[in-house]
Amino acid sequence: MAENENVVLPPKYYLDYFNYLLDFVKDKYKHILNEGEWRFLRKYYALSEDAQCLFIRFTNRRGAFFKTEGLYYEELAAIPELLDELLEREFAEPLSEIHTERVPELLHLCTKADLLKIAPESVKKSWAKQEIAELLREQLDPEEIIEGIDQLFPLIKVNFEYETAFLRFLFFGNRYMDMTEFVVRDLGFVQYFQHDDDKLVARFDTRKDAEDKWMLTDQADLFESLKKTAEPEEIYDWFDTFHDSLRELSEVAKPSLERLKLKVGRHLEREQRLELAVEVYKTCELPQAKERRVRCLTKLKNFEEALELCEDMIVNNTNADEHFFAKDFADRMLRNKNRRKKLTTEKLHEAEKITIPKVYRGQVELGTIEHYLAEGKFAMFSENHLWRGIFGLIFWDIIFDPALVAFHHPFQRRPSDLHLPDFYEKRKEIIHGHLDGFEDTDDLLLLMRNNFVKHEGIANPFVIWMEGIWEGILLATKFIGLEKLKPILIHISKDIAENSRGFPDLFVWDQDGYEFIEVKSPTDNLSNRQLFWLGYFEENEINARVLRVFFEE
Kindly tell me if the per-residue pLDDT of 97 is higher than 80.
Answer: yes
> What does the pLDDT average to over 210-219?
96
> What does the pLDDT average to over 233-244?
96
Per-residue model confidence (pLDDT) at position 157: 97
Judge residue 217's burial from the number of C-beta atoms within 10 Å of its C-beta, 0-12 exposed, 13-18 middle, 19 or more buried: middle
Per-residue model confidence (pLDDT) at position 419: 86
Q: Rounded CA gap, 341 and 332, in Å?
A: 9
**pTM, entire model:** 0.86
Per-residue model confidence (pLDDT) at position 273: 96
Per-residue model confidence (pLDDT) at position 320: 73
Per-residue model confidence (pLDDT) at position 247: 84
Per-residue model confidence (pLDDT) at position 257: 97
> What does the pLDDT average to over 396-401?
95
Q: What is the pLDDT of residues 155-182, one digit of tens each?
A: 999 999 999 999 999 999 999 999 999 9
Per-residue model confidence (pLDDT) at position 1: 40
Q: Rounded CA gap, 409 and 173, in Å?
A: 8
Parallel, antiparallel or unpaired: strands 513-520 and 506-510? antiparallel
Cβ pair 423, 417 in contact under 8 A? yes
> Please, what is the Cα angle at 145 between 101 and 149, to 5 degrees?
105
Helix 320-333 × helix 528-539 angle, to 10°: 110
DSSP category for residue 197: G
For 64-171, list the strands marked E by DSSP: 65-67, 92-94, 155-158
Kindly tell me if the per-residue pLDDT of 366 is higher than 60.
Answer: yes
Q: What is the pLDDT of residues 309-365, one digit of tens each?
A: 988 888 887 677 777 788 878 877 776 544 555 666 677 777 789 999 989 988 999
pLDDT band at residue 70 using 50, 70 and 90 as cut-offs: confident
440-464 in b/e form (b: 16+ CB < 10 A) is ebeebbebbeebbeebeebbbbbbe
> What does the pLDDT average to over 137-146?
94
Per-residue model confidence (pLDDT) at position 323: 77
Whole-number percent of the chain with pLDDT over 70: 97
pLDDT band at residue 2 using 50, 70 and 90 as cut-offs: very low
DSSP category for residue 531: H
Whole-number percent of the chain with pLDDT over 90: 80
Q: Rounded CA gap, 179 and 57, in Å?
A: 11
168, 244, 354, 469 from 174: Cα distances, Å: 8, 24, 48, 32
Q: Rounded CA gap, 224 and 218, in Å?
A: 10
Q: Rounded CA gap, 148 and 123, in Å?
A: 15
- Residues in Cβ contact with 524 at an 8 Å cutoff, skipping those fewer than 6 apart: 364
Q: What is the pLDDT of residues 436-470, one digit of tens each?
A: 999 999 999 999 999 999 999 999 999 999 999 99
Judge residue 174's burial from the number of C-beta atoms within 10 Å of its C-beta, 0-12 exposed, 13-18 middle, 19 or more buried: middle
> What does the pLDDT average to over 216-244?
96
Parallel, antiparallel or unpaired: strands 506-510 and 378-381? antiparallel
> What does the pLDDT average to over 489-502?
92
Q: DSSP string covering 159-181, please?
A: --HHHHHHHHHHHHSSSS--THH
Per-residue model confidence (pLDDT) at position 187: 94
Q: What is the pLDDT of residues 247-299, one digit of tens each?
A: 899 999 999 999 999 999 999 999 999 999 999 999 999 888 999 999 999 99
Kindly tell me if the per-residue pLDDT of 482 is higher than 90.
Answer: yes
